[in-house]
Amino acid sequence: MKYDAVVMGGGLAGLICGIRLTQSGLSCAIVSAGQNALHFSSGSLDLLTHLPNGQLVERPLEALEALSEQSPHHPYSRLGKLAVIKLTHQAEALLQQSGIKLKGSSDENHYRITPLGHKRLTWLSPKSVPTVDLHKKMKMGKIAVVGIEGFLDFQPQMVSDELQREGLAASAYYVHLPLLDRLRENASEFRAINVARWLDRPENMAQIVAEMAPLVAESESIFMPACIGLDSEEPLLELQKQLGKPIYLLPTLPPSLLGIRLHEALLRQFRRQGGIIMPGDKVTSVNCVGSRIESVMTRNHGDISLKASQFVLATGSFFNNGLVAEFDRVYEPLMHLDLCDIPQRGQWTNKEFFASQPYMAFGVQTDDQLRAQKEGQTFENLYVAGAILGGFDPLTEGCGAGVSLISGLHAAEEIIGYFARQKAMQAEVAQ
């Protein structure tokens, strides 16, 4: 099987890369072993919320120079300010074209409300999530924070206490929904996605409205856990219409409905554009000749290799086994690629729990084009994208999704450029 490009890993980085490649008319296959970080994420996307020295970032694109000074190995610093700005705008446009309804912009971060009721800076948030602009007060009138009886992954009291501390009029309620009684029998099944499968059924809407209406009668807006609208926004819009007031969704503990919806929308867009996705398959080995990758072997394809001119490694970090940590060593399991500097074992973690943890910035070493290296030699046709890259801390710098989107798009643009040059050369030869 031969493609223009093969992408290893179908998380945010791999999918955005595949979407851009197929949009430009190239053939692309994505091999994706399993769940990705989006299934566990808030659904909001961070670009850059803090500099490494802890300074809060209000305008991410204006902070890129300071980031370069403080963190020259950060993927944004490697790519350079102008490229990051261009790719950020491209990411915003591609997400919109993929039918993902997000609010926010790279001009200025905004706050989203977390499942604990705190405010957290971010770049883009799903339309249904409660947000507040910088230096503004939330204006939602009396808020009813409605939990679901028996659903332990969301505590309305904690949220409403926190909102009250912010000076907002918030009250906590629990709605009892008999339609969930069967689910309630097994606590491990009582998770956001399973709840949504019941709440999304049109025949259950009347009961949900009947149970919620008296609780929220005095309120002007409703906060509830993101347990409704798994496949589409319709059930949420219908509930909103019937209750006659705006409903905002707060992310829950994983699996996260808001993250899964984002993943599904990207997947649909990739397929719509002719991309080939191989879910549940896993790249098991990579065949190289000199400094070029020729093909990859996968678990499900046996001795049939996937050949391509260009490859992208987007297998994620420790969370999805893109990187592996043993007691005293860290390695990239597919090709044993070079990693950025890994300190002595005793310095992998910081004793201060809330401080930046050094292991978060571990990852694959690349050249400035984000191409992988092994024993100091650069692979000419293997780009690295997403959480597997080294040199940044997605948690304390608030840049996880941004690095995935920008490095994924950078890889795609490099590959598109390669094929354009090939075509131009062929045309010249033909003349």
Q: Which stretch binds ligand FAD (CB under 6 A): 19-27, 88-96, 196-204, 308-316?
A: 308-316
Q: Give the nearest distance from C-beta 157 to ligand FAD in angstroms.
A: 23
Query: Binding to ligand FAD (CB under 6 A): which residues in 27-56?
Result: 31-34, 36-38, 40-42, 44-46
Per CB under 6 A, 77 contacts ligand FAD: no
Q: Which stretch binds ligand FAD (CB under 6 A): 5-13, 19-27, 99-107, 178-186?
A: 5-13
Neighbours of 26 (CB within 10 A): 22
Smaller CB separation from ligand FAD, 319 or 424: 319
Q: Give the nearest distance from C-beta 249 to ligand FAD in angstroms.
A: 14
Q: CA 209 → CA 15, 126, 146, 202, 238, distances in Å?
A: 37, 23, 13, 12, 10
Site string for ligand FAD, 389-408 (x = CB under 6 A): -----x-----xx--x----
Taking the alpha carbons at both ends of the chain, their separation in whole angstroms is 31
Neighbours of 89 (CB within 10 A): 13
Q: Which stretch binds ligand FAD (CB under 6 A): 142-150, 222-230, 315-323, 411-419?
A: 315-323
Among 55, 43, 416, residue whose Cα is nearest residue 264:
43
The sign of the dihedral angle between the CA atoms of 36, 37, 40, 44 is negative
Query: Binding to ligand FAD (CB under 6 A): which residues in 319-338?
Result: 319-322, 334
Alpha-carbon distance 89 to 97, whole Å? 12
SS3 of the chain: helix, strand, coil, percent, to 5: 40, 25, 40
Q: Which stretch binds ligand FAD (CB under 6 A): 158-166, 199-207, 269-277, 313-321?
A: 313-321
Alpha-carbon distance 369 to 73, whole Å? 12
Q: Give the nearest distance from C-beta 142 to ligand FAD in angstroms.
A: 28
Smaller CB separation from ligand FAD, 171 or 256: 256
Per CB under 6 A, 363 contacts ligand FAD: no
Query: Binding to ligand FAD (CB under 6 A): which residues in 278-307?
Result: 282-283
The sign of the dihedral angle between the CA atoms of 160, 156, 144, 229 is positive
* Member of 5, 6, 7, 12 binding ligand FAD (CB under 6 A): 12
Alpha-carbon distance 267 to 322, whole Å? 20
Among 273, 334, 322, 263, residue whose Cα is nearest residue 298:
334
How many residues touch ligand FAD under the rule CB under 6 A: the total is: 36
The strand pairing partners of 147, in sequence order, are: 174
Q: Which residues bind ligand FAD (CB under 6 A)?
A: 8-14, 31-34, 36-38, 40-42, 44-46, 282-283, 314-316, 319-322, 334, 386-387, 394, 400-401, 404
